[in-house]
Structure 1
Amino acid sequence: MLGYRNLIVLLTLALLMPVDLWAQQGNGVESLRQTGKAFAAVARKVSPSVVLIQVERETEAAQMSPFGFPFGNGGGDNFPFGDEFFRRFFGDRLPDSPRFNAPGKKPQQGKQRSVVGQGSGFVFAANNKKTYILTNNHVIEGNDKISVKFLDGREFEAKIKGTDPKSDIAVIEIEASDLPAVQIGDYAQLEVGEWVVAIGNPFGLSHTLTVGVVSAKGRTSLGISDYEDFIQTDAAINPGNSGGPLVNLDGEVIGMNTAIFSRSGGYMGIGFAIPINLAERIANQLIDKGEVVRGYLGIMIQPLTADLVKSFDLKNDKGILIAQVTKNSPAEKAGLKAGDVIVNYQGRPVSDTGDFRNQVALAQPGSKVEFDIVRDGKQRSITVKIDKLSDNKLAAQESSSHASDKLGLTVQTVTADVARQLGIKAGQGVVVTEVAPGSVATMAGISPGSVILEVNRKAVNTPAEFNQAVKNSTNNKVLLLVRDDDVSRYVVLSWR
């Protein structure tokens, strides 16, 4: 039998257990409550600096609704929530709508009207006379009138201070001096998994807050803009959020919402934001100079595939491959060559072609930068003086690379006539005259007119040299340096 004291202890534990469980549940609710208050604090801090941007431009009307909805192109076939939504509220009584016209009434055609679009932005900087607002270039590009509206209801007409289509960044300015600017955060300290808050105007719903986490950093080669280094987030971003801030829990802006991945046109769980460090550097140049000055190196680069690593007899896949060096470019003058593998840039390891292009572009023209490269199995350092990037060039262009399973092409010597037709140098390389359908060459993007400059790192200038070089290849693989127009790339072809 239990002793008196033991019985008292058991009864006490039994009585305390429900209280302890309730306390644990209460702590969980309290934790959620505090999280909610953190989001609310972010909204209070940042929302006054966020603006609804509305833009107008004149265009030719053709059977379109006169309603100036700030969604899509304003036409009757582009209601933001679908036709059924408006049927439920308005029936078939939407005046002059192409879908809901009264019987016998024809829509107006051929008249000029204002098309209203919308997006988001946030106050980036201000002085005693002007306030500068950061947004996306695609929000304001090609529009005749831009207006901004703040949370407190104040509205201003804005004008463009500067745009940079290559990064999809723009700065607009308004005549005002007492408007709050956001606090800029440190993107470098941002970690995958952190809570973030997106604030903007999706579908024209002013100052909407959505919450999520950082899904990934350093997303490049998405094809959204020329220079990419996106933050990926699952915070809901929809049409109209473009240009709005992505904010951490301290209320600091760490990115600018720019794009979504969507098959429906709406939110599907993946959104992209430009890191604020990149946006800030470009915005400051637009404010100070009205344009962006980028560094120029003059090389074509491509990622290192497993086949390329073997073909170049590399120890690992660390680095990126130089496929082409532009004549008279800073890279050529410094001694960089096609086939060099860049492993470090300014003491920092290089592994991503998109990030490398961004770093070169951000370098100041006239500055000297240090490269560590691998050439013929040996590492060496090369210093390059960066030049100014012109409008028709990229800082360091990325070359595509493809590979497949069969080989099938014929070549001929680059005669003077062929050279004139292709705009290349006679006697240099061999020109592809025929490519077999379904062959490895076809799959690799080689087509008639392509010029093969090298086979397995050795120059070939005649069909005989080409055929012999292919014959001498081992393991049924061959490394080609192929040029199409002015673009060169390395390609590994495999066959059985």
Structure 2
Amino acid sequence: MKMSFRHCLLASAVVVSSLGFTASTQAALPFFSDSKDEVPSLAPMLEEATPAVVSIAVEGTQTSRQRVPEMFRYFFGAPQEQVQERPFRGLGSGVIIDADKGYVVTNNHVVDNADEITVKLTDGREFKAKKLGSDEQSDIALLKIEPDDLKALPLADSDGLRVGDFVVAIGNPFGLSQTVTSGIVSALGRSGLNIGGYEDFIQTDAAINRGNSGGALVNLHGELVGINTAIFGPNGGNVGIGFAIPANMMKSLVDQIAEFGEVRRGLLGILGSDIDAGLAEAMNAEVNIGAFVSEVQPESAAEKAGLQAGDIITAINGRQLHSFQELRAKIASMGAGAEVELTVMRKGKKMNVDVVLDDATDTTVTAAQIHPALEGATLSNGADDAGNAGVVVSDIERGAPAARIGLQSDDVIIGVNRVRTSTVAEFRNALDEAKGVIALNVKRGNSTLYLVIRQ
């Protein structure tokens, strides 16, 4: 039977019945009934948690490009490529993480390319949502709805999870609203699944199906421990192996999105691999799990902190590491400038190394990612001739939409509708806020001009 990884575009799930807890366990978990006439139940906890899990409906248009055969272009004057636009609809789940600000977190693949996002609460109310930002590599997106008597899920410290901990998944699989399933944490720090660029998944056997994407994985106290993201099974069906993004990783990413409009990844500056028994023996090391440092890049955060090739990193901020991929994902999600304590084994001696992470953010983006009218240009953080920060335009494609609105190579965009923009992130946010006609304030040599985009 062929197995495959699939994103669970819909929500999460959870069901819990009597789990055979003792009286002492019930005392530790106050949501269980103390009445001798009632069966122990997770219902009180779920009644508090489920209002914070929402259904997400999206609508948009997918654009596909197909190259036209040369003979058709020659005889009929057809363009080099044919562009087709197809409308799409989708369903998923989300979790309210800040009731006052109206922040809803979900998976990037749920809302990617969506023109309209609708969030539906358990009480039937619906809100149009605005996407504040997303990160494709970690599959996280942050939405905002107008606060109106919302309820948020409290966050747990996902680094404190242990294999065997009970968890509950809540979401909308197959469009079935407010489905709940239960299970345990099956594994931690899962990576190498080729689901996303940065993988540090919680694995669970709580039933997760298509449509669970963006839903909540909670502990028995009703605290959010993860965002359900993907499943592993034949034809997308549940076989008891699901994956969730840890709450700590999600929190770090959405904090960056809320502040900067994008994720500003941390960078350690090392190359390496997993440590295994063979490598541990070759290095005369007493540890068989962790991240082996094969190279420290010059002028990197790692070199400045004193890391050396041959070091074995066994923990980050006191939490044990299972693999190099787990280290990579945790570092990337912590953000530029974060202070990190690494536990290192060097020549049989254990030591702690404090590191301040560099900025790994690639500030060069394809302009079509920001606005369709800018397609054909490449944008990056820079400055004009006077040294004033702005968004530098380069690599204009001839005849592309960006060229048609008048942009030229080496232009520096310094504002949108009289709002000053100094970085790509600020430029993206200003365009998201703009309605109707958009006026780009452009510095071209010694001249300043406005270019108009009519939506």
Among 297, 301, 325, the alignment partner of 2:296 is 325
Amino-acid identity (%): 46
The Cα of 1:240 is off from its aligned counterpart by 0.6
The aligned residue for residue 286 of structure 1 is 257
* 5+ residue gaps, structure 1: 1-29, 62-109, 394-496
Query: In the TM superposition, what are the counterparts of 1:301-316 in structure 2 within 5 Å?
Result: 301-316=272-287
Among 219, 227, 233, the alignment partner of 2:190 is 219
Matched, 1:249 2:230: no
Q: 1:325 to 1:240 in 2, by over 3 A?
A: same
Q: Once the two structures are superposed, what CA deviation does each residue of 1:298-329 show, in whole Å capped at 9, x if it has no partner? A: 11110123332233333443542212222332
The aligned residue for residue 96 of structure 2 is 123
Q: 1:45 to 1:263 in 2, by over 3 A?
A: same
Structure 2 CA distance, aligned partners of 1:329 and 1:183? 36
Structure 1 CA distance, aligned partners of 2:119 and 2:313? 46
Q: Once the two structures are superposed, what CA deviation does each residue of 1:443-480 show, in whole Å capped at 9, x if it has no partner? A: xxxxxxxxxxxxxxxxxxxxxxxxxxxxxxxxxxxxxx
Query: In the TM superposition, what are the counterparts of 1:2-401 in structure 2 within 5 Å?
Result: 34-35=39-40, 37-38=41-42, 40-59=43-62, 114-127=87-100, 130-343=101-314, 345-346=316-317, 350-363=321-334, 365-366=336-337, 369-371=340-342, 373-375=344-346, 383-391=354-362
Report the secondary structure of 2:234's partner residue. coil
The Cα of 1:376 is off from its aligned counterpart by 5.5
Structure 2 CA distance, aligned partners of 1:156 and 1:381? 48
Q: 1:281 to 1:336 in 2, by over 3 A?
A: closer
The Cα of 1:53 is off from its aligned counterpart by 0.8
The Cα of 1:368 is off from its aligned counterpart by 5.2
Q: State the superposition RMSD in angstroms.
A: 3.1
Q: 1:187 to 1:31 in 2, by over 3 A?
A: farther
Larger mean CA deviation between 238-247 and 214-223 belongs to 214-223
Larger mean CA deviation between 364-373 and 226-235 belongs to 364-373
Report the secondary structure of 1:261's partner residue. strand
Report the secondary structure of 1:360's partner residue. helix
Report the secondary structure of 1:148's partner residue. strand
Q: Once the two structures are superposed, what CA deviation does each residue of 1:19-48 show, in whole Å capped at 9, x if it has no partner? A: xxxxxxxxxxx999624x32x323322222
Q: 1:268 to 1:378 in 2, by over 3 A?
A: closer
Q: Once the two structures are superposed, what CA deviation does each residue of 1:383-411 show, in whole Å capped at 9, x if it has no partner? A: 54421122389xxxxxxxxxxxxxxxxxx
* 5+ residue gaps, structure 2: 1-34, 65-82, 365-455
- The answer on whether the counterparts of 2:95 and 2:106 sit within 8 Å (CA) in structure 1 is yes
Structure 2 CA distance, aligned partners of 1:235 and 1:32? 28
Q: One-letter code of the match for 1:265?
A: G
Structure 1 CA distance, aligned partners of 2:203 and 2:343? 30
Structure 2 CA distance, aligned partners of 1:332 and 1:60? 45
Report the secondary structure of 2:98's partner residue. strand
Report the secondary structure of 2:118's partner residue. strand
The Cα of 1:335 is off from its aligned counterpart by 4.5
The aligned residue for residue 87 of structure 1 is none
Report the secondary structure of 2:327's partner residue. helix
The Cα of 1:113 is off from its aligned counterpart by 5.0
Report the secondary structure of 2:294's partner residue. strand
Instruction: Give me the TM-score of the superposition, normalised by structure 2.
Output: 0.61
Query: In the TM superposition, what are the counterparts of 1:423-442 in structure 2 within 5 Å?
Result: none
Q: 1:321 to 1:392 in 2, by over 3 A?
A: farther
Instruction: Give me the TM-score of the superposition, normalised by structure 1.
Output: 0.56
The Cα of 1:135 is off from its aligned counterpart by 0.5
Paired positions, count:
312
Decide which structure has greater helix share: 1
Q: 1:59 to 1:373 in 2, by over 3 A?
A: closer
- Structure number with the bigger relative contact order (C-alpha 8 A, sep ≥ 6) is 2
The Cα of 1:263 is off from its aligned counterpart by 1.9
Larger mean CA deviation between 351-360 and 340-349 belongs to 340-349
Structure 2 CA distance, aligned partners of 1:181 and 1:50? 8
Structure 2 CA distance, aligned partners of 1:376 and 1:132? 47
The aligned residue for residue 461 of structure 1 is none
Structure 1 CA distance, aligned partners of 2:37 and 2:208? 23
Q: 1:263 to 1:375 in 2, by over 3 A?
A: same
The Cα of 1:244 is off from its aligned counterpart by 0.6
Q: Once the two structures are superposed, what CA deviation does each residue of 1:102-148 show, in whole Å capped at 9, x if it has no partner? A: xxxxxxxx995531111101211132xx5111101111011211111
